């Protein structure tokens, strides 16, 4: 009886070894999004402030509207590495980022006052500052997202 059990263990081990040697994917790897380490992540956020709280300026990447930014919210953008131009509805300000694979970048949306109304202005933030400032914010509501291919609404508070 003991030798049959040993035989079964040896056979099972051999089968598992052969399957992994042939490159069979594990269930953990197949459930994860593919290529996330080859992508860049940009966190875009806006402080919760009284001034301009009714405004929802648009945020663009490479002239593609990503989302309309609400007060006290953030969203996450996943992009291919390379140069990308971010801007809001303030035509004088923009951010030209050269993103690297696996890199995390942070952009803060600020409300700049204007003659009749305020407008959004983007500010690049170092990762150490951005990761701290985003902690108490909520994910953007899904109805504000314009580009569902690149924008993700993940809750950072569950990680």
Instruction: Work out the end-to-end distance of the chain between its first and last CA atoms, rounded to an integer number of angstroms.
Output: 48
Residue-wise pLDDT tens digits, 86-125: 999 877 889 999 999 999 999 999 988 766 567 788 999 9
Residue 16 has pLDDT above 50, yes or no: no
Residue-wise pLDDT tens digits, 43-83: 999 988 776 667 889 999 999 999 999 999 999 999 999 99
List, in order, residues 6 or more apart from 124 with CB less than 8 Å away. Answer: 95, 97, 105, 106, 107
Residue 153's pLDDT is: 84
For the domain bounded by 36-158, which CATH number is listed? 2.60.40
List, in order, residues 6 or more apart from 48 with CB less than 8 Å away. Answer: 71, 72, 136, 137
Compute the distance between CA of residue 57 and CA of residue 50 in angstroms, rounded to an integer: 15
Q: Where in the chain is the domain with CATH 2.60.40?
A: 36-158
Parallel, antiparallel, or unpaired: how do β-strands 40-45 and 104-112 relate? parallel
Residue 145 has pLDDT above 50, yes or no: yes
46 to 51, 66, 110, 111: CA distances (angstroms): 12, 14, 7, 9
- Virtual torsion, Cα 120, 126, 129, 132, nearest 10 deg: 90
Give the mean pLDDT of 39-46: 95
């Amino acid at each position: 009886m003991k030798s049959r059990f040993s035989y079964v263990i040896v056979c099972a081990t051999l089968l598992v070894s052969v399957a992994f040697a042939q490159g069979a994917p594990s269930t953990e790897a197949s459930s994860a999004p593919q290529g996330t380490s080859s992508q860049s992540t940009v966190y875009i956020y806006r402080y919760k402030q009284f001034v301009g709280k009714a405004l929802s300026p648009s945020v663009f990447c490479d002239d593609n509207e990503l989302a309309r930014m609400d007060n006290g919210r953030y969203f996450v953008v996943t992009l291919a590495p390379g140069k990308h131009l971010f801007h809001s509805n303030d035509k004088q300000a923009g951010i030209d980022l050269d993103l690297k694979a696996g890199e995390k970048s942070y952009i803060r949306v600020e409300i700049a006052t204007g003659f009749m109304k305020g407008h959004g202005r983007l500010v690049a933030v170092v990762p150490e500052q951005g990761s701290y400032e985003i902690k108490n914010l909520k994910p953007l509501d899904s109805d504000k997202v314009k580009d569902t291919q690149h924008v993700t609404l993940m809750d950072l508070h569950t990680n």
